[in-house]
Amino acid sequence: MVQVIVVYSGGMDSYTLINKAIQEGHEVQAISFDYGQKHKKELLFAKNFCEISRIEHEIVDITSIKNLLKGSALTDDIAIPQGGYADNSMKLTIVPNRNMILISMAIGYAVSSNANEVWFGAHSGDHVIYPDCRPEFVEKMNALSLISDYQPISVKAPFIDLSKSEILSKGVEMNLDYSKTWTCYEGKDLACGLCGSCNERLEAFRENNLDDPLEYYVSS
């Protein structure tokens, strides 16, 4: 049996991913990170799902690294940019080297748990803005992970070639309930409906002719 650690943010992509791992019959553990993101509300969504599904779940507090990683609207006192997910302004949401940091910890957890693989939810919509979500990143992260410990851990991003709309489509086939996910970068009571992350989510629902079960402050 393949034992998989899923890096689970609480958003749509990683929610679909963890369900894919479960439905494929793998032994699944989840890991989430509090890195000081304004939308740490997403972690509650991850926690709730893991509790209901009886998935072993670690939420790791690495807020101490906030001092090191400056300049992101996701963690610093900088307004979250509004607009399209691929707009240049979305570069403000980059947290320096975030995915390498999170995945390296997930790999350590995998070694410690005798797991075989680490999965994370990068998708094709991420490629424009986030270098650490591109196929080249996954390939090199995997190459590194296979030789860094005595136990080789594979790093996989099964949705790397899919758009958010295609991921949603897969999730609907899997009967998933997207009210159990959080996407908005603002992390307020309702989703803002204006940030790049909300816009990409809303577009995915429109393209699938579905209504998003979440409530929004501004619905487009």
Q: Answer left, alpha or beta for residue 206, where phi above 0 means left and psi between -120 and 50 means alpha.
A: alpha
| Separation of alpha carbons 149 and 143, rounded Å | 12
SS3 state of residue 156: strand
Q: Which helix (H) or strand (E) holds 200?
A: helix 196-207
Asked whether 113 and 107 are in contact (CB, 8 A), the reply is no
Q: Minimal distance in Å, beta carbon 92 to its own copies?
A: 12
58 binds its own copies (CB under 8 A): yes
> Counting contacts by CB under 8 A, is residue 71 touching its own copies?
yes
- Residue among 28, 31, 202, 214 that touches its own copies (CB under 8 A): 31
Q: Which is nearer to its own copies, 93 or 145 (CB)?
A: 145
Contacting its own copies (CB under 8 A), which of 3, 104, 169, 208? 104
Question: Total binding residues for its own copies by CB under 8 A?
Answer: 42
Phi/psi for 176 (5° steps) reads -85, 155
List 78, 86, 144, 172, residue binding its own copies (CB under 8 A): 144
147 binds its own copies (CB under 8 A): yes
DSSP secondary structure, 43-55, as one string? HHHHHHHHHHHT-
Shortest distance, position 150 Cβ to its own copies, whole Å:
6
Run of H or E residues at 104: helix 98-112
Beta-strand (E) ranges in 20-108?
Answer: 27-34, 56-61
Q: Segment contacting its own copies (CB under 8 A): 141-149, 163-171, 180-188, 189-197? A: 141-149
* Residue 101 in the binding site for its own copies (CB under 8 A): yes
Q: Report the interface residues with its own copies, using CB under 8 A.
A: 31, 58, 60-62, 64-65, 67-71, 91, 94-101, 104-105, 107-109, 111-112, 131-132, 134, 136-137, 140-141, 143-145, 147-150
